[in-house]
Structure 1
Amino acid sequence: MKYFVIVGFILIIASLGSALFFMMRDGHDGRPKTSNMARALAFRVGFSILLFLCILLAWKFGYIQPTGIPLR
């Protein structure tokens, strides 16, 4: 499970880097840069939601345990 979370974070960072690349490119190649950037950001949102749901399911099924400040 730990490796899945690490891969998820790497995908999120890669998607942000891709959006930055498309934003900084000047767009002289004939393709609109906004659609590529919006697609990369949409993938980032999708990866973030998928990662959150996987962490939530892993907690629900007992694969991970919460730590930190105890509830009282």
Structure 2
Amino acid sequence: MKIIIVLILVGILVALAAAGLFMLKRSGKNKPGGMARALALRVGLSVALFLFILLSYKLGWIQPTGIPAGR
């Protein structure tokens, strides 16, 4: 479970770095829409991670720990 979450987080960071590189490159060799595609991938991975964590909680694969709610 932790491995899947870490892999998705790494994917989000890689997509963000790719968007930054597309933004910094000023040569005309870039594919048009490369930065937008990388940012769309980052948003998609973030939504997928949120839904995966929510589903995992609902199915009982993960349990909340730490500070009790309501304090």
TM-score (norm 1): 0.89
Structural RMSD (CA)? 1.3
Number of residue-to-residue matches in the alignment: 70
Cross-structure match for 1:4: 4
Shift of 1:28: 1.9
For the 8 Å contact 2:22–2:30, the answer to whether it is kept is no
Shift of 1:61: 0.6
Percent identity at matched positions? 47
Cross-structure match for 1:20: 20
CA offset digits 1:22-68 (Å, max 9, x no partner) = 00000322643xx1100000000000000000000001111111112
Consecutive unaligned residues of structure 2, counting only runs of 5 or more, are: none
Q: Aligned equivalents of 1:49 and 1:68: distance in 2?
A: 24
TM-score (norm 2): 0.90
Correspondence for 1:59 among 50, 57, 63: 57
Consecutive unaligned residues of structure 1, counting only runs of 5 or more, are: none
Cα distance 1:30–1:43, how it changes in 2: closer, same or farther (>3 A)? closer
Cross-structure match for 2:48: 50
After the TM superposition, which segments of 4 or more aligned residues of structure 1 sit over 6 Å from their partners? none
What amino acid maps onto 2:29 in structure 1?
D
